[in-house]
């Protein structure tokens, strides 16, 4: 079910009313869990059993890892078994086709190559791994919001909360990736009068605006960014297509994350921040402190630090950065172009660390250095986004070659549309960059400006939305 569909517009108020109809935690958790499974399987019901198997096994593993008096050897077997299941399921459904297509030809592997990708599997698998790792670390003491059960009643409540954590529909399909320690302590009875209406509505309006007005219109405006359609375009139009796609991927994914956060607040839950004006970053290191923060945090806690982080010398640190970004690239998609994308980011991060660019606070840099770093970072990040739109690396390289060899000029209509719908992304970042200046405004003046901005965005959602479609990160 899509957030930007009429079906969801009918689904949400029914679930919200049922959820708040009775202020009992077990009722509210049950309503949201059942509704989340319906949301997930609305168009493809076969996906629900896979999610239920994944959730059931992770729930059992968490229970066993917290069992008082459990021998260390058994706990270790449970942990590795659960991790193996999570990574095995992800590998089979997402990467089996890539492996077969790379190393085998012919009909023998054709059925594997045709395995459909279950939507959202990358996100809920990472949540399952987070639950297993937090349960392993906590042991019999548990962690806030999830303690070892004592008795049959508590056993049922333990598993009910795990199912809710894994299935909660706002973040189920495309994040933010919620770690176990961030969520379970929030589970409890929610009161209607505690709903943060202002915060929820602001996030929903901005999220739907970024998706339906900006991203969906830019999708049509950048349709020419496809092989071989761009080959004959002038250099100026190619640059505009590159900028337009870069703005589109931000608006699409940030829009989804904001909608997810707003929906969660309607039910009394807080999801982690996922974007912090990433196109203001003056370095690649700073970009990854601002882009897809929940993924960056997950990779750092469950991959980079266990690999040794920066604790074993510079050479090992560079290797760890490379491995984390290489695997992070593959997480985005089952194609070598995504691995190349992650590798390029990993090499860039290692180079910045080696040269000192990635160390320290960029806010203390001289203005000229921040400006130069911003130009280089934005264009580098935007060029690498080509691998998302042109997964054949030869086609992406062909685009770069055309940038260098095609004639000057720009198509006026394309320039106008991309400029028009890219402007909100630029203004959104400028608004974030001027946060310290805005803090000095009088509260009444700030409230009027925000009311005008959100009112305008809501109006444009109603009258100027582009053609609807899936969110880009659904494929990951």
In this prediction, residues 191-219 reach a mean pLDDT of 94
Q: Which residue has the tokens 């020419």?
A: 224
Q: Residues 19, 20, 292, 332: which is the catalytic one?
A: 332
Q: What is the number of structural domains in the chain?
A: 3
Q: How far is CA 170 from the centre of its chain?
A: 12
Structure tokens at 95: 């990467």
223: part of which helix (H) or strand (E)? none
Q: Considering the domain boundaries, does residue 291 fall inside one?
A: no
Residue 288 C-beta-side C-alpha neighbours within 13 Å: 20
Alpha helices in 20-172 (DSSP H): 25-40, 47-65, 72-90, 96-103, 110-113, 121-138, 152-167, 169-172
What whole-number distance in Å separates Cα of residue 439 and Cα of residue 369? 25
Do 475 and 333 touch, CB atoms closer than 8 A?
Answer: yes
Phi and psi at 216, nearest 5°, equal -70, -35
What whole-number distance in Å separates Cα of residue 415 and Cα of residue 428? 20
Q: From the CB of residue 102, how many other CB atoms can be counted at a distance below 10 Å?
A: 10
In this prediction, residues 35-42 reach a mean pLDDT of 94
Do 422 and 244 touch, CB atoms closer than 8 A?
Answer: yes
CA-CA-CA-CA torsion for 95, 96, 102, 108, nearest 10 degrees? Answer: -160
**Peptide bond between residue 181 and the one before it cis (omega within 30 degrees of 0):** no
In this prediction, residues 139-152 reach a mean pLDDT of 90
Is 108 in the same domain as 69? yes
Give the pLDDT band of residue 4 (cuts 50, 70, 90). Answer: confident
Give ∠ CA 117-123-124 in degrees, rounded to 5: 95
Q: Considering the domain boundaries, does residue 278 fall inside one?
A: no
In this prediction, residues 174-182 reach a mean pLDDT of 90
Give the pLDDT band of residue 153 (cuts 50, 70, 90). Answer: confident
Structure tokens at 28: 């509210």
Give the pLDDT band of residue 424 (cuts 50, 70, 90). Answer: very high
* Domain stops at, among 314, 336, 364: 364
Q: Find all residues with CB under 8 Å of 193, minimum gap 6, and list them.
A: none
Specify the pLDDT at position 404. Answer: 87
Residue 16 C-beta-side C-alpha neighbours within 13 Å: 17
The parent domain of residue 388 ranges over 205-269+365-476
Is 23 in the same domain as 169? yes
Q: Which of 73-87, 104-118, 120-134, 371-385 has the lowest mean pLDDT?
A: 104-118
Q: Considering the domain boundaries, does residue 210 fall inside one?
A: yes
Do 307 and 323 touch, CB atoms closer than 8 A?
Answer: yes
What whole-number distance in Å separates Cα of residue 425 and Cα of residue 279? 9
Give the pLDDT band of residue 358 (cuts 50, 70, 90). Answer: confident
Do 62 and 131 touch, CB atoms closer than 8 A?
Answer: yes
Do 459 and 236 touch, CB atoms closer than 8 A?
Answer: no
Is 90 in the same domain as 235? no
Instruction: Evaluate if residue 462 carries a pLDDT over 90.
Output: yes
Of residues 117 and 283, more confidence is placed in 283
Instruction: Give the global pTM.
Output: 0.93
Q: For 91-138, what is each residue's pLDDT tens digit?
A: 888 877 777 666 666 545 556 666 777 888 999 999 999 999 999 999
Percent of the chain with pLDDT strictly greater than 90: 57
In this prediction, residues 402-420 reach a mean pLDDT of 88
What whole-number distance in Å separates Cα of residue 445 and Cα of residue 84? 55
For the chain, the average pLDDT equals: 89
* Domain stops at, among 165, 194, 223: 194
What whole-number distance in Å separates Cα of residue 325 and Cα of residue 458? 37
Q: Find all residues with CB under 8 Å of 250, minimum gap 6, and list them.
A: 275, 278, 279, 425
Catalytic annotation present for 332 = yes
252: part of which helix (H) or strand (E)? helix 235-266
Is 233 in the same domain as 312? no
Is 124 in the same domain as 38? yes
What whole-number distance in Å separates Cα of residue 166 and Cα of residue 127? 7
* Domain stops at, among 309, 343, 364: 364
Q: Considering the domain boundaries, does residue 187 fall inside one?
A: yes
Is 19 in the same domain as 156? yes
Q: Which of 79-88, 278-287, 404-413 has the lowest mean pLDDT?
A: 404-413
Instruction: Evaluate if residue 278 carries a pLDDT over 70.
Output: yes
Instruction: Evaluate if residue 224 carries a pLDDT over 70.
Output: yes
Burial class of 398 by CB neighbour count within 10 A (0 to 12, 13 to 18, 19+) = middle
Specify the pLDDT at position 434. Answer: 82
Is 128 in the same domain as 176? yes
Structure tokens at 454: 């959100």
Is 183 in the same domain as 237? no
Give the pLDDT band of residue 1 (cuts 50, 70, 90). Answer: confident
CA-CA-CA-CA torsion for 412, 241, 435, 447, nearest 10 degrees? Answer: 60
Specify the pLDDT at position 107. Answer: 47
Instruction: Evaluate if residue 46 carries a pLDDT over 80.
Output: yes
Q: From the CB of residue 4, how many other CB atoms can be counted at a distance below 10 Å?
A: 21
Is 248 in the same domain as 384? yes
Instruction: Evaluate if residue 255 carries a pLDDT over 50.
Output: yes
Q: Considering the domain boundaries, does residue 234 fall inside one?
A: yes
Specify the pLDDT at position 360. Answer: 76
Q: Considering the domain boundaries, does residue 285 fall inside one?
A: no
Q: Considering the domain boundaries, does residue 279 fall inside one?
A: no
What whole-number distance in Å separates Cα of residue 60 and Cα of residue 442? 54
Q: For 307-335, what is each residue's pLDDT tens digit?
A: 887 787 788 888 888 889 888 888 887 78
- Among residues 247, 252, 58, 77, which one has the least CA distance to residue 163? 58
In the chain, what are the helix, strand and coil shares in percent, each to the nearest 5?
A: 70, 0, 25
Structure tokens at 386: 């080509």
In this prediction, residues 438-456 reach a mean pLDDT of 85
Instruction: Evaluate if residue 202 carries a pLDDT over 50.
Output: yes
Do 161 and 184 touch, CB atoms closer than 8 A?
Answer: yes
Is 181 in the same domain as 213? no
């Amino acid at each position: 079910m899509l957030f930007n569909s009429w079906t969801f517009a009918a689904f949400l108020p029914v679930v919200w009313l049922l959820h708040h109809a009775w202020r009992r935690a077990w009722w509210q958790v049950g309503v949201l869990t059942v509704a989340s499974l319906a949301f997930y399987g609305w168009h493809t019901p076969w996906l629900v059993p896979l999610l239920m198997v994944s959730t059931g096994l992770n729930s059992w593993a968490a229970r066993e890892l917290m069992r008082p008096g459990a021998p260390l050897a058994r706990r270790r077997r449970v942990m590795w078994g659960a991790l193996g299941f999570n990574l095995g399921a992800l590998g089979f459904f997402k990467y089996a086709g890539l492996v077969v297509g790379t190393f085998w030809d012919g009909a023998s592997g054709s059925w594997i190559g045709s395995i459909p990708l279950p939507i959202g599997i990358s996100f809920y698998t990472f949540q399952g791994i987070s639950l297993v790792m937090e349960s392993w670390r906590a042991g019999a003491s548990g962690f806030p919001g999830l303690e070892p059960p004592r008795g049959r009643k508590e056993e049922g409540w333990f598993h009910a909360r795990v199912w809710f954590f894994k299935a909660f529909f706002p973040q189920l399909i495309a994040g933010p990736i919620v770690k176990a320690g961030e969520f379970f302590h929030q589970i409890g009875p929610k009161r209607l009068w505690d709903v943060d209406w202002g915060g929820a509505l602001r996030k929903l309006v901005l999220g739907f605006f970024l998706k339906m007005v900006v991203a969906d219109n830019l999708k049509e405006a950048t349709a020419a960014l496809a092989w071989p359609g761009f080959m004959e375009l002038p250099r100026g139009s190619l640059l505009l297509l590159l900028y337009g796609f870069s703005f589109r991927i931000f608006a699409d994914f940030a829009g989804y994350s904001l909608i997810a956060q707003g929906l969660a607040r309607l039910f009394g839950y807080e999801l982690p921040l996922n974007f912090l004006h990433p196109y203001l970053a003056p370095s690649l290191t700073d970009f990854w402190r601002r882009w897809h923060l929940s993924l960056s945090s997950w990779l750092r806690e469950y991959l980079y630090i266990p690999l040794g982080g920066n604790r074993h010398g510079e050479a090992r640190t560079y290797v760890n950065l490379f491995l984390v970004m290489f695997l992070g690239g593959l997480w985005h998609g089952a194609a070598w172009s995504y691995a190349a994308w992650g590798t390029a980011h990993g090499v860039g991060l290692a180079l910045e660390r080696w040269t000192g660019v990635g160390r320290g606070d960029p806010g203390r840099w001289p203005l000229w250095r921040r400006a130069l770093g911003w130009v280089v970072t934005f264009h580098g990040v935007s060029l690498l986004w080509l691998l998302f739109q042109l997964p054949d690396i030869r086609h992406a390289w062909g685009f770069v070659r055309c940038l260098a060899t095609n004639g000057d000029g720009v198509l006026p209509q394309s320039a106008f549309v991309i400029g028009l719908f890219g402007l909100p992304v630029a203004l959104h970042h400028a608004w974030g960059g001027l946060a310290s200046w805005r803090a000095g405004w009088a509260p009444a003046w700030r409230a009027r400006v925000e009311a005008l901005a959100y009112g305008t965005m809501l109006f444009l959602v109603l009258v100027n939305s582009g053609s609807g479609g899936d969110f880009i990160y659904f494929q990951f």
